[in-house]
Amino acid sequence: MTHSVHGLVPILATPFLPDGTLDRPGLRRLVEFQLTSGVDGVAVFGMASEGFALTLTERQLILRDVREVVADAVPVVAGVNGTSSVTALEQAREAADGGADALMVLPPFMVKPGPDQLVEFYGLVGEFAASADTEVMVQDAPGVTGVAMSAALIVELSKLDGVTSVKVEAPPTVPKVGAVADAIGDEDEFAVLGGQNAQFVLDEYARGSIGTMPACEFPDLLAPVLAAWNAGDRAGARAAFTRLLPLIVHGLQQGIAWAVHKEVLVRRGIIEHTTVRLPAKTLDAGGRSLLDEILAPLDLRAAR
């Protein structure tokens, strides 16, 4: 089974109305913005989506709307964050039934599993995915889960039925990307992608990554960077990326990252409200002022 997910695959924010309910028209505009920016896929229910704060009904509605807008243009990745094999499989079934092409699966983290249990866990989810004509991306995110996966373990997971990719978010990401990519060898069979808001994307690409999954407010700025890199213009790619890096880093701040993403999306005219859900925090006046300074050199144009 080969992977379908590679390239630029933003994690969609979840727009909310001021009363905290889903903003479904805003979500549709957000998906359309990704497609016009030339992305290679979109993802829902990741950390940047506030996936931890969504109800089952909301997850179903979001996936349905995203799938409808995307149609067959690009793959749709759905996050799975169940804290046991049973709950992860339940989420995986819901996502597959909703039309997800791939499942980005966190390891169970309330009770920390050992390496053998991780092989068993991903084996179960991968077996289901293969039977449901979808695929599993291992999400290596110890900063969120507290679950460490060695490069050697990820290589073992890559051999499981239905497991076709990994998103490496364990710092330092670059050497780990290199270790996994070198050990596997065939990027057509198993894809290594990066996360962390694309903070080290070019170095990850240099070490064998073939994709990145950042937040969703700047795909039109990142897509040309990756195109230049893939065309062999490393100097040009690095120069363009340097301009973008302050915004990328600003969107990695714990607690306010979701507010940063949404503030930028509102300023670009893509969504209308910056509402986040507890325990995410809003930006204060000082934070919004700092964001103004970071955005000014980018000369961002409204996306609609």
**Is residue 294 in a domain?**
no
Could you tell me if residue 32 is inside a domain?
yes
Residue 200 reports pLDDT greater than 90: yes
What is the reported pLDDT for 189?
A: 86
CATH number of the domain bearing residue 168: 3.20.20.70
Question: Would residue 271 count as lying in a domain?
Answer: no
The percentage of the chain sitting over the pLDDT mark of 90, rounded to a whole number, equals: 95
* C-alpha distances out from residue 144 to 100, 127, 298, Å: 23, 25, 30
Q: Are 92 and 105 contacting, i.e. CB atoms less than 8 angstroms apart?
A: yes
Q: Is the peptide bond before 172 cis (omega within 30 degrees of 0)?
A: yes
219 inside domain: yes
pLDDT surpasses 80 at 303: no
Q: Residue 98, SS3? A: coil
> For position 280, what pLDDT does the model report?
95
* Predicted confidence (pLDDT) at residue 302 exceeds the cutoff of 70: no
The whole-angstrom separation of Cα 190 and Cα 183 is: 11
Q: 122-168: per-residue pLDDT in tens?
A: 999 999 999 999 999 999 999 999 999 999 999 999 999 999 999 99
For residue 299, is pLDDT > 90?
no
Q: Per-residue pLDDT tens for 72-90?
A: 999 999 999 999 999 999 9
| 276 within a domain of the structure (yes/no) | no
State how many domains the chain has.
1
pLDDT for 304 beyond 80: no
pLDDT digits (tens, 9 = 90+) for 39-70: 999 999 999 999 999 999 999 999 999 999 99
Instruction: Using the structure block, give the residue that is written with the tokens 């880093």.
Output: 249
pLDDT digits (tens, 9 = 90+) for 3-13: 999 999 999 99
Percent of the chain with pLDDT over 70: 98
242 in a domain, yes or no? no
Average pLDDT over residues 197-212: 98
The pLDDT mean for the chain works out to: 96
Residue 298: what pLDDT? 92
Examine residue 292 and state whether it is found in any structural domain, yes or no: no
Cα–Cα distance between 11 and 169 in angstroms, integer?
A: 14
Q: Which residues 6+ apart lie within 8 Å of 227 measured at CB?
A: none
pLDDT at 1: 66
User: What residues contact 19, with CB distance under 8 A and at least 6 apart?
Assistant: none
Query: Quick one: pLDDT band at residue 300, thresholds 50, 70, 90?
Result: confident
**Residue 213 marked as a ligand binder:** yes
| In-domain check, residue 111 | yes
Pick from 172, 183, 258: nearest CA to 215: 258
Q: What is the residue range of 197's domain?
A: 7-231
- Res 29 pLDDT > 90: yes
Question: For the residues of 145-186, what is the DSSP string, one character each?
Answer: H-----HHHHHHHHTSTTEEEEEE-SSSHHHHHHHHHHHH--
